Amino acid sequence: MAVEAHPVEILPEAAAVHWRPRVDDARLRHLGGLWMLTTLGHVVPFAAAATLLVWLQPLALPVALACLAHAWVIPELYARRGANVVRPRGRAAEEPERRAVGLLGDLVGHEARELHARTGLVLERGRLGTWLVGEAGAVLLHGRRRRAYCYCVKVDGRAVVDGAGAGELPSGDRIAHLLLALRADEQGFATVANLTFAGARWRLRRRLPAPMRPALDAAAASIDTRSTRPR
């Protein structure tokens, strides 16, 4: 029996997080602002304490330096948490990896395929911004300032009956799962995923594994060159 396709616009997984506001440009700006305030909330008190200590007692310089170190390290730890979402996970056997990368290659264009081969990340242009999709998460560069939003999201093998075939997926398949979900409903994807970091791109870049940094640069550059694409 043949039947026609009936597209579903909303990602069904979004129903599991029905209490979350659906992510859009305004929501991203709001979240970015909250993260900036949080960062300032960590940095300003430590920096102020360091200044005050030195002003009151110059001999307290070592303590003041420790305060400044805290002011620097805490945002760096958040950025590291963000970078962790795109770090490579375990590898499957060679043949499944090869087949999975082949399928992923069929889903993306030549440039994205080449970038994935070099960095392990797939660049995807969306309406909210430019995405870098990894095996267990994605980074969104949003807005004129290209603020980085790091989302942790996984393929949920427990969601299928008996789990057959849903064991340890090859890396290419994990990316393809996330990519298809992202393409089906970008806002739903960002709603389902857990935001682990939002902040300056430079801060995230420092915490990314070195081979992945060109992907972040390419994503930022693509915002400069791309034209608005209706979705």
Partner 1 sequence: MSKLIRMDQTGHSTLAEWTAEDPVAVEAAVEAFRAELERGYLAMVSTGPGHAEQVRELPVEAPLVILRLPISGG
Contact of 194 with 152, CB cutoff 8 Å:
yes
Rg (CA), the chain: 21
In the chain, how long is the greatest CA-to-CA distance? Answer: 84
Q: How far apart are CA 228 and CA 86, in angstroms?
A: 26
Tell whether residue 136 is a contact of partner 1 (CB under 8 A): yes
Q: Does 85 bind partner 1 (CB under 8 A)?
A: yes
Using CB under 8 A as the binding rule, whether residue 162 contacts partner 1 is answered as yes
Q: What does each C-alpha distance from 57 to 33, 45, 95 come to in angstroms?
A: 35, 18, 66
| CB closer to partner 1 out of 27 and 125 | 125
Residue 59 or 229: the one with the smaller Cβ distance to partner 1 is 229
Chain centroid to Cα 74, Å, comes to: 19
Burial environment of residue 97 by CB neighbours within 10 A (0 to 12, 13 to 18, 19 or more):
middle
* Least distance from partner 1 to the Cβ atom of residue 163, Å: 9
Looking only at the bridges linking them, the beta strands covering 122-125 and 137-142 are unpaired
CB 199 within 8 Å of CB 81: no
Tokens at 55, concatenated: 């002003």
The residue (of 154 and 205) whose beta carbon lies closer to partner 1 is 154
Q: Which stretch binds partner 1 (CB under 8 A): 22-30, 31-39, 61-69, 120-128?
A: 120-128
Q: Which residue among 27, 66, 70, 97 contacts partner 1 (CB under 8 A)?
A: 97
173/183 Cα distance (integer angstroms)? 15
Reading the block at residue 185, the tokens are 């409903």
* CB of residue 218 to partner 1, shortest distance in Å: 16
Give the nearer residue to partner 1 in terms of CB position, either 64 or 79.
79
Nearest residue (CB) to partner 1, 6 versus 144? 6
- A 10 A CB-CB count for 223 gives 15
Q: In what order do the strands lie in the sheet with 130-133?
A: 122-125, 130-133, 137-142
Which span sits near partner 1 by CB under 8 A: 37-45, 75-83, 151-159, 216-224?
A: 151-159
Residues in region 185-204 near partner 1 by CB under 8 A:
189, 192-194
Closer by beta carbon to partner 1, 26 or else 161: 161
- Our finding on whether 110 is near partner 1 (CB under 8 A) is no
168 near partner 1, judged by CB under 8 A: yes
* Positions in the binding site for partner 1 (CB under 8 A): 1-8, 11-13, 16-17, 85, 92, 95-100, 102-103, 106-107, 109, 124-126, 136-137, 152-157, 159-162, 165-170, 172-173, 176-178, 180-181, 183-184, 189, 192-194, 229, 231
